[in-house]
Amino acid sequence: MDLPSLTIGTRTARLPIIQGGMAVRISLAPLAAAVARAGGIGVIAGSGLSPEELAHEVRAARRSTDGVIAVNVMVAVRLFKELVHAAIDEGVDMVIAGAGFSRDVFSWCHDAGVEIVPIVGSARVAKLSERFGASAVIVEGCEAGGHLGTDRPMLDLLPEILDAVDIPVIGAGGVVTGADIKRVLDAGAAGVQMGSRFAATVESSASDAFKQMYLDATSDDIVIVKSPVGLPGRAIRNPFVERLERGDVPRIERCVACLKECHRDYCIIDKLVKAQQGDVVDGLVFAGSSAARIHDIPTVDELMARLVEEWREASEAAAEPSAGPV
């Protein structure tokens, strides 16, 4: 019994697992390449990088694997066009775009023979994406980490979006084990996207302190925060989050203009970079709702093998006839 492969447009991954594109500087070439080598779709997060930095990361991943490599770029970032073109020019296989909707990205990707996969939170946006030529859509539910586009669970949204489109639908949010993967595939998804589980791996570019926050977190520690992007975000409670909750964070006076529109409650790039570099007191540690179920920091190879085995065990258990009366 084997996990099915995942085909998106002209690209096929041996396993139906997309590693989440976690910004800022969490999902870089080492993580993406390791996932691609292990049979999944490896994703480099472009948000918060310069176009030159993103091009460097795509080149590094390409040198390490001939597997499927994607980039994830938020539509909300000011350099969205430049980042997408930098990735396309370096031969990326697909572009994943969320936190907004761009019509232009469909033509950019189609002209270059690159797959385009929007992140959606409703059947309406999924249908619009298919009409513009999306190769697949990722349904991200409210369980996901980082910026959230819906307050509905992924398994609640999934049937509506499966009914609305004829392209592959990927489920994202709250997936950390092989049993979770089985649940999402059984619900009709073609694959899953997993972010938090890959943030706590050896190849993740997060700091050791960031990864330790995941291991120490309880479900009560994972909360919704206000983001200057204009969307809510899910993070692990720390002193900075507690200050946000009290309204004790002064508005920024200067802005690096990383976003097309910024509410300037605080600098999102600054806080995410601080956490990535190890300042988990004044930084922002994004995490999914199921981060409290993560208890170790495996290599990507170890994790992927575990996910396959957990999926197989769950599948075999489901296939066993239930014990009836003697």
If phi > 0 it is left, if psi is from -120 to 50 it is alpha, else beta; for residue 113 that is left
Residue 288, in any domain of the structure: no
Residue 87: give its domain's CATH number: 3.20.20.70
Q: What is the pLDDT of residue 76?
A: 80
Residue 134, in any domain of the structure: yes
Under DSSP, the state recorded for 263 is -
Residue 77, in any domain of the structure: yes
Reported residue count of the chain is 326
Residue 262, in any domain of the structure: yes
d(CA 160, CA 153): 12
Same domain, 162 and 264: no
Same domain, 189 and 221: no
d(CA 288, CA 290): 5
Same domain, 218 and 190: no
d(CA 103, CA 81): 11
Same domain, 192 and 71: yes
Residue 71, in any domain of the structure: yes
Same domain, 184 and 231: no
Same domain, 171 and 218: no
Residue 197, in any domain of the structure: yes
H or E, element range at 45: strand 41-45
Please answer whether residues 299 and 203 qualify as being in contact, where contact means their C-beta atoms are separated by less than 8 angstroms. yes
Same domain, 122 and 245: no
Residue 322, in any domain of the structure: no
If phi > 0 it is left, if psi is from -120 to 50 it is alpha, else beta; for residue 231 that is beta
d(CA 310, CA 106): 36
Q: What is the pLDDT along the chain (326 residues), one digit of tens a residue?
A: 689 999 999 999 999 999 999 988 999 999 999 999 999 999 999 988 999 999 999 999 999 999 999 999 988 888 899 999 999 999 999 999 988 888 999 999 999 999 999 999 899 999 999 999 999 999 998 888 887 777 888 999 999 999 999 999 999 999 999 999 999 999 999 999 999 999 999 999 999 999 999 999 999 999 998 887 777 888 999 999 999 888 887 777 666 656 556 667 777 788 888 999 999 999 999 999 899 999 999 999 999 999 999 999 999 999 887 645 55
Residue 88, in any domain of the structure: yes
Q: How many C-beta neighbours within 10 Å does residue 282 have?
A: 13
Domain containing residue 107: 6-205+296-312
Q: What is the pLDDT of residue 324?
A: 52
Q: What is the pLDDT of residue 323?
A: 46
Q: What is the pLDDT of residue 281?
A: 95
Same domain, 149 and 267: no
